């Protein structure tokens, strides 16, 4: 039977197991929406902005491990979703984005709401397609899902002109697909793996440096086995958090610019770095020329371009984490005898010393201003038994969340690392909530970031997505303010937001629940109340405005040279600077 | 160092812009690029002349390979190769210069492919040094227009001393 392009699209989505899409209509996609309206298998979450739709699809993808799907119209619909595509591209999130396009006969004519969707999306997608004939639509969609979810995952755009959505063709969905020019390598080179195993058994001061690739690959169990077998410390990148349980005695927490003191010391003084699905980002390496000066480097990554892009690698292994780790474990099981613990005892003694010397620390006075770290610590304690999914926005609050919210399992952590997109957190949390309606989904937000996609509260209310937003409200672009304090002599150029909307009233205006904790003593009760509500909630927490994130390796600095606390000049400057609740009369207190 | 990279790509809408975009987006040098279909019309052959240190060239090759439309990438500098470029040079020729122009063309085994009373258009093929040399010699006459194809290249077939006699190879 012949189907229209719109019907073919829907049939394809069903065959790909898509249950939810995030979408916003417009002229050229009306046919598609009309068909979506007449079926029950796929839920359409109507967002208030296409950027929201894109981030929701990302949150859905990160939480489920499957491709997220969004649908936008031509022109401004497309340009609005670009940020989310770029974000997904940087963080390797599998996404399939359908965009409407003007009819094929008008392409290139500056038609109404025409944009060069292929040109716009090319640098921020793994691949993109323009479908010029309805006969190609089904195969193209199959290829789009295949490309998005295999190898190093990423976003794929399918641009569908209006006439293609209305024309008819015989519907045949290919059961499998092969693209001659695209053949990701999953199995690692055996000889290289053997070399790696040998280096690992010999090393005295090794470290596992694990990233997002472990999560995409679903290799957490293998990682655990490897870590316990070899008795190595585990450093995680921001994107790798959750790949290894944060409370495990071998977990070093996050490394890098705002990583723990010991995670960075372990890297710097190691004699063997085993990088697994991590890409040596500059927030991790710091000054490349002084990065891990004593170490041999093993790098396991599915994308050859990640290897030797930033640092030299001694044993490169191109392949999928899970498959490579399995082989590695097999070899190690045969060669490692119980002496690894003994061999590495001095290393662990050193590590424990580092951990005691400079633990993560903050001072929360009982009647002082609320410290942001304390809020996250309490949130963690109060929710950890419920296996929550946690999203963040971008800024200081994101770093504190990474430091203090310890994740036990993968696919629980939704954050924007590569692009660092403010406004990511809330829609991403909604996407995860849409995938898992019964789960507890938390969004740790900044007062600046939340205002970038606040409009999606309307979507959350309509679609009953009971995300709990906790705003660490310092009325600053805090991360910017921190850099200004440290590197620009405290000149707060456009970082002071001065006032924020009354988030409690704002939540209520949307039909959600608004709560506020104004004193340290109120935190627990307010958080508990928020968690108990089966509705979207904003918890506004006015925090001490001048708190800084430490440790910190200044950009381009060396990994063992961390700033561990406010330099004296800042400490004095801030004395008496905190206050409990925002007042209209507040001005900058450091002048 | 200069490298010549040969790339086989799907002959599809947009393939060229993906490759051009890769070079501009990542700040890789691109000295010249030539594209044409292969014997199999579903594929195109590109020759890219670029430069960079070892690490950059390694990234360029890997990044090209990563593009979904790219079927095969060969860094020709890894082995021996031959490369050629064609230039079309339109020179001003005053009556007293016309003989000189022909003589220069002759030295370089170049052809005059168009002629007017005041100009010659000379076609020359060779390696970049040869093209540079003829341009230098023609410059004093006054070059009106110059267009170059950019280089194309292929790897040399290897003949090892232990190989079968050359004659036999030729017959195969
Ligand atoms: C304000 C701010 C501060 C930040 N500070 C820090 C910081 O202190 N520390 C930190 O670590 N980051 C920090 N980041 C994040 C940083 O910018 C990078 O996003 C992050 O370090 C990259 O993580 P990753 O190396 O795990 O790579 P990802 O971006 O997660 O990439 C995954 C890698 O794994 C590979 N891969 C994918 N699938 C597989 C598979 N199946 N098998 C094998 N390999 C696979 C990919 O090819 C890629 O190389 C910060 C970001 C922001 C916004
Ligand atoms: C879209 C976007 N614009 C600008 C930035 C630069 N930036 C990084 S952090 C930050 C401040 C974030 O403020 P807020 O959300 O309040 O978080 P805080 O640092 O105060 O916790 C800014 C402006 C960004 N990352 N993303
Ligand atoms: Mg803030």
CA distance A250 to A231: 8
Q: What is the ipTM of this complex?
A: 0.91
Residues 6+ apart with CB under 8 A from B44: B8, B9, B10, B11, B15, B35, B36, B37, B38
- Give how far B153 is from chain A: nearest CA, Å: 22
HEC letters along chain B: CEEEEEEEEECCCCHHHHHHHHHHHCCCCCCEEEEEECCCCCEEEEEEEEECCHHHHHHHHHHHHHCCCEEEEEEHHHCCEEEEEEEEEEEECCHHHHHHHHHHHHHCCCEEEEEECCEEEEEEEECHHHHHHHHHHHHHHCEEEEEECCCEEEECCCCCCCCCCHHHHHHC
**Residue A342 reports pLDDT greater than 70:** yes
- Give how far B46 is from chain A: nearest CA, Å: 15
Average pLDDT over residues A356-382: 97
Tens of pLDDT, residues A157-178: 999 999 999 999 999 999 999 9
- HSE, side-chain direction, 13 A CA sphere, residue A520: 15
Interface probe for A, chosen from B14, B46, B70, B72 (most Cβ of A below 10 Å), is B14
CA R_g for chain B: 20
A192 catalytic, yes or no?
no
Our CA angle for B49, B50, B51, nearest 5°, is 140
| Site to substitute for ligand 2 among A416, A421, A422, most atoms within 8 A of C-beta | A422
CB A444 within 8 A of CB A425: yes
Average pLDDT over residues A95-103: 98
Band of pLDDT at residue A581, cut at 50, 70 and 90: very low
Tens of pLDDT, residues A19-69: 999 999 999 999 999 999 999 999 999 999 999 999 999 999 999 999 999
Higher pLDDT, B164 or A6: A6
CB B104 within 8 A of CB B137: yes
pLDDT at B161: 64
CA distance A523 to A566: 26
CA distance B47 to A155: 29
**Residue A217 reports pLDDT greater than 70:** yes
Ligand 2 atom at minimal distance to the Cα of residue A400: 21
- Give how far B147 is from chain A: nearest CA, Å: 28
- Give how far A122 is from chain B: nearest CA, Å: 7
**Residue A583 reports pLDDT greater than 60:** no
DSSP A281: -
* CB neighbour burial string for A367-404, b if at least 16 within 10 angstroms, e if fewer: eebbbbbbbbbbbbebbeeeebbbbbbbbbbbbbbbbb
Tens of pLDDT, residues A506-516: 999 999 999 99
CB contacts of B18 in chain A (<8 Å) are 122
Average pLDDT over residues A564-581: 65
Ligand nearest to the CA of A542: 3
Average pLDDT over residues A553-575: 85
Average pLDDT over residues B47-70: 97
The active-site residue, picked from A14, A19, A113, A224, is: A113
**Residue A433 reports pLDDT greater than 60:** yes
HEC letters along A237-270: CCCCCCCCCCCCCCEEEECCCCCCHHHHHHHHHC
The active-site residue, picked from A112, A190, A202, A498, is: A112
Q: Quote the mean pLDDT of chain B.
A: 92
pLDDT at B163: 55
- Across the interface, do B59 and A182 touch by the CB < 8 Å criterion? no
State whether residue A587 is helix, strand or coil. coil
Dihedral, A258, A259, A260, A265 alpha carbons, nearest 10: -110
pLDDT at B75: 97
Phi, psi angle pair for A71, to nearest 5°? -140, 125
- Across the interface, do A147 and B68 touch by the CB < 8 Å criterion? yes
Residues 6+ apart with CB under 8 A from A212: A91, A92, A237, A239, A240, A243, A277, A278, A417
Band of pLDDT at residue B160, cut at 50, 70 and 90: confident
CB contacts of A304 in chain B (<8 Å) are 62, 65-66
State whether residue A156 is helix, strand or coil. strand
pLDDT at B172: 35
State whether residue A318 is helix, strand or coil. strand
- Across the interface, do A122 and B69 touch by the CB < 8 Å criterion? no
Our CA angle for A20, A22, A23, nearest 5°, is 130
| A24 CA to centre of own chain | 23
Percentage of chain B modeled with pLDDT above 90: 89
**Residue A591 reports pLDDT greater than 60:** no
Residues of A in CB contact (< 8 Å) with B are 118-119, 122-123, 126-127, 130, 147, 179-182, 303-305, 307-309
Element of type H or E holding A462:
helix A456-462
**Residue A301 reports pLDDT greater than 60:** yes
CB contacts of A180 in chain B (<8 Å) are 71
Q: Ligand 3 centre from A310 Cα, in Å?
A: 32
Average pLDDT over residues B42-71: 97
- Across the interface, do A122 and B18 touch by the CB < 8 Å criterion? yes
CA distance B159 to B167: 12
**Residue B167 reports pLDDT greater than 80:** no
A146: closest chain B residue by CA: B68
What are the DSSP calls for A12-53, one per residue?
Answer: HHHHTT--EEEE---GGGHHHHHHHHT-SSSEEEE-SSHHHH
Q: Quote the mean pLDDT of chain A.
A: 95
**Residue B31 reports pLDDT greater than 90:** yes
Tell me which residue in B18, B66, B68 faces A305 most closely, judged by beta carbons: B66
Q: Ligand 1 centre from A278 Cα, in Å?
A: 6
| Site to substitute for ligand 1 among A153, A186, A278, most atoms within 8 A of C-beta | A278
Structure token digits, residue A80: 């609005």
Residues in chain B: 172
CB A249 within 8 A of CB A224: no
- Across the interface, do B68 and A122 touch by the CB < 8 Å criterion? no
Ligand 1 site: residues with CB under 6 angstroms? A 91-92, 152, 211-213, 216-217, 237-240, 254-259, 277-279, 281, 283-284, 301-303, 306, 320-321, 394, 398-399, 417-418, 420, 479
CB contacts of A144 in chain B (<8 Å) are none
Q: Ligand 2 centre from A484 Cα, in Å?
A: 13
CA distance A237 to A216: 14
Report which of A524, A220, A240, A239 is spatially closest to residue A383, judged by C-alpha positions: A524
Element of type H or E holding A389:
strand A389-392
A476 catalytic, yes or no?
no
Separation in Å, CA A503 to CA A454, A459, A539:
10, 17, 8
CB A430 within 8 A of CB A465: yes
Looking up tokens 């006032």 gives A499
CA distance A383 to A373: 15
Tell me which residue in A123, A303, A308 faces B66 most closely, judged by beta carbons: A303
A162 catalytic, yes or no?
yes
CB B5 within 8 A of CB B58: no
N-to-C CA span, chain A: 74
DSSP A439: S
A356 catalytic, yes or no?
no
Beta carbon pairs, A and B, within 8 Å: 35
Ligand 2 site: residues with CB under 6 angstroms? A 393-397, 420-422, 446-449, 472, 474, 476-480
pLDDT at B101: 95
Band of pLDDT at residue A589, cut at 50, 70 and 90: very low
Separation in Å, CA A403 to CA A252, A330, A364:
10, 33, 16
pLDDT at B165: 52
**Residue A97 reports pLDDT greater than 80:** yes
Ligand nearest to the CA of A283: 1
Average pLDDT over residues A220-238: 97
pLDDT at A584: 38
Average pLDDT over residues A398-416: 98
Name the β-bridge partners of A169.
A3
pLDDT at A104: 97
Average pLDDT over residues A409-421: 98
CB contacts of A307 in chain B (<8 Å) are 62
B21: closest chain A residue by CA: A123
CB contacts of B54 in chain A (<8 Å) are none
pLDDT at A465: 98
Q: Ligand 1 centre from A239 Cα, in Å?
A: 5
CB atoms within 10 A of CB A342: 9
Phi, psi angle pair for A365, to nearest 5°? -85, 145
A101 catalytic, yes or no?
no
């Amino acid at each position: 039977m012949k189907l229209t392009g719109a019907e073919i699209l829907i049939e394809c989505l069903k065959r790909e197991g898509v249950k939810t899409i995030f979408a916003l209509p417009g002229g050229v996609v009306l046919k598609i929406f009309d068909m979506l309206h007449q079926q029950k298998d796929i839920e359409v979450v109507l967002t208030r902005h296409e950027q929201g739709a894109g981030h929701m699809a990302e949150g859905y993808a990160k939480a489920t491990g499957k491709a997220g799907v969004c649908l936008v119209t031509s022109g401004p619909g497309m340009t609005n979703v670009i940020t989310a595509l770029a974000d997904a591209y940087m963080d390797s999130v599998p996404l399939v984005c359908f965009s409407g396009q003007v009819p094929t006969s008008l392409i290139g004519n500056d038609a109404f709401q025409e944009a060069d969707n292929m040109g716009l999306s090319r640098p921020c997608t793994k691949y993109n397609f323009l479908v010029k004939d309805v006969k190609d639509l089904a195969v193209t969609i199959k290829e789009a899902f295949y490309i998005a979810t295999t190898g190093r995952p990423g976003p794929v755009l399918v641009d569908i002109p209006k006439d293609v959505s209305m024309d008819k063709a015989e519907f045949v969905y290919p059961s499998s697909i092969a693209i001659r020019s695209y053949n990701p390598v999953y199995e690692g080179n055996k000889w290289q793996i053997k070399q790696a195993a040998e280096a690992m058994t010999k090393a005295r001061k090794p470290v596992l440096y694990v990233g997002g690739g472990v999560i995409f690959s679903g290799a957490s169990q293998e990682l655990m086995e490897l870590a316990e077998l070899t008795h190595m410390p585990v450093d995680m990148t921001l994107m790798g958090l959750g790949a290894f349980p944060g409370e495990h005695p071998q977990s070093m927490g996050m490394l890098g610019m705002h990583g723990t003191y010991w995670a960075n010391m372990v890297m710097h003084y190691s004699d063997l770095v085993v990088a697994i699905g991590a890409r040596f980002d500059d927030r991790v390496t710091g000054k490349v020329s002084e990065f891990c000066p004593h170490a041999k480097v093993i790098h396991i990554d599915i994308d050859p371009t990640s290897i030797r892009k930033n640092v030299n690698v001694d044993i490169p292994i191109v392949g999928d984490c899970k498959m490579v780790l399995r082989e590695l474990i097999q070899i190690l099981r045969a060669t490692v005898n119980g002496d690894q613990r003994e061999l590495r005892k001095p290393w662990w003694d050193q590590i424990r010393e580092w951990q005691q010397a400079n633990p993560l620390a903050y001072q929360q006075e009982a009647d002082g201003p609320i410290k942001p770290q304390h809020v996250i610590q309490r949130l963690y304690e109060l929710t950890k038994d419920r296996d929550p999914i946690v999203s963040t926005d971008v800024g200081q609050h994101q770093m504190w969340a990474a430091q203090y919210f310890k994740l036990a399992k993968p696919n629980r952590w939704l954050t924007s690392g590569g692009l660092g997109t403010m406004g990511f957190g809330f829609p991403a949390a909604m996407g995860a909530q849409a995938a898992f309606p019964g789960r507890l989904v938390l969004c740790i937000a900044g007062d600046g970031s939340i205002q970038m996609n606040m409009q999606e509260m309307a979507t959350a209310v309509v679609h009953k997505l009971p995300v709990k937003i906790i705003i660490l409200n310092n009325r600053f672009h805090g991360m910017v303010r921190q850099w200004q304090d440290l590197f620009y002599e405290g000149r707060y150029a456009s970082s002071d937001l001065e006032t924020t909307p009354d988030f409690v009233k704002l939540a209520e205006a949307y039909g959600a629940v608004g709560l506020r904790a104004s004193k340290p003593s109120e935190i627990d009760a307010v958080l508990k109340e928020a968690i108990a509500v089966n509705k979207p909630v904003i918890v506004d927490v006015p925090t001490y405005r001048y708190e800084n994130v430490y440790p910190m390796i200044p950009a381009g600095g060396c990994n063992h040279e961390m700033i561990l606390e406010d330099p004296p000049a800042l400490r004095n400057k801030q004395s008496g600077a905190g206050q409990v609740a925002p007042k209209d009369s507040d001005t900058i207190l450091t002048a | 160092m200069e490298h010549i990279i040969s790339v086989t790509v799907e002959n599809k809408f947009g393939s060229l812009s993906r490759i051009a975009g890769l070079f501009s987006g990542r700040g890789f040098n691109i000295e010249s690029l030539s594209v044409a279909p292969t014997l199999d019309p579903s594929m195109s052959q590109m020759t890219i002349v670029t430069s960079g240190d070892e690490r950059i060239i390694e990234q360029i090759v890997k990044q090209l390979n990563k593009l979904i439309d790219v079927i095969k990438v060969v860094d020709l500098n890894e082995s021996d190769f031959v490369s050629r470029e064609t230039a079309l040079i339109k020179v001003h020729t005053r009556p007293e210069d016309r003989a000189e122009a022909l003589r220069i063309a002759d030295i370089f085994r170049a052809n005059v492919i168009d002629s007017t009373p005041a100009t010659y258009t000379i076609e020359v093929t060779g390696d970049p040094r040869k093209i540079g040399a003829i341009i230098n010699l023609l410059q004093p006459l006054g070059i009106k227009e110059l267009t170059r194809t950019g280089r194309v290249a292929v790897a040399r077939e290897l003949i090892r001393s232990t190989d079968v006699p050359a004659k036999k190879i030729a017959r195969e």
